[in-house]
Amino acid sequence: MTIIVLEDGEKAIVDYLSKGRYDRARSRNAETLPLNNTNDKYFSDRTGLFAELALAKLTNVYPSQVFSPLCKTKDSGSDVGDIQYKGWSIDVKSTIHNKGVLWINKINNNIDLYAFFVVTENEETVTCELKGVITGKELHAKPKRERQPQFKFPCIYAEQNELITWEEFEKNGFSIWYRNRWSKSN
């Protein structure tokens, strides 16, 4: 189990950035999915940013995508994930639910790896538990399906037991990468 704790200052940065990210996305008519029962319109962006910053902290990679004011979309082809790490384009997904699933509603072929976090926001800190990772190739091969009662729309998802641990990825990442690159070209 990999746990990253974000301190008070990091939490304040995310609070500020989530408002800008949400407002920029809505000004570009980005879709808002009804995911959580909260009146806080910044909630989903804030939760996602916590997880993105946690992965940047874990990998010791400067969080340029986290701090970027640019809105990059899957449809434009400019979205290359949240973190670039050891040649991998990693997209970070998050939830507040301990038994949640990693899900996407659109395939982004620029993504090599998806990382899935469960985020717990406390008074002064945020705990981000990295549940595991899955390659884009593996996730993209799954069919779009419904998962009732959690989602009211079909999506592509992986259960937590289908993910590999971060430690396993770090240990065998190159061989996973090589298998996926090799099979993309054949």
Question: With bands split at pLDDT 50, 70 and 90, how would you rate the model's confidence at 186?
Answer: very low
pLDDT at res. 177: 54
Question: Which residue type, as a one-letter code, is found at position 185?
Answer: S
Asked whether residue 178 carries a pLDDT value surpassing 50, the answer given is yes
Nearest alpha carbon to residue 4 among 64, 53, 74, 49: 53
The mean pLDDT value for 9-32 works out to 76
pLDDT higher for 34 or 165? 165
How confident is the model over 65-87, as pLDDT tens digits?
666 655 555 455 556 689 999 88
pLDDT higher for 3 or 149? 3
How confident is the model over 120-146, as pLDDT tens digits?
999 889 999 999 999 999 999 999 998
What is the token pair recorded at 137?
């190739």
Nearest alpha carbon to residue 46 among 65, 81, 72, 19: 19
The mean pLDDT value for 42-58 works out to 92
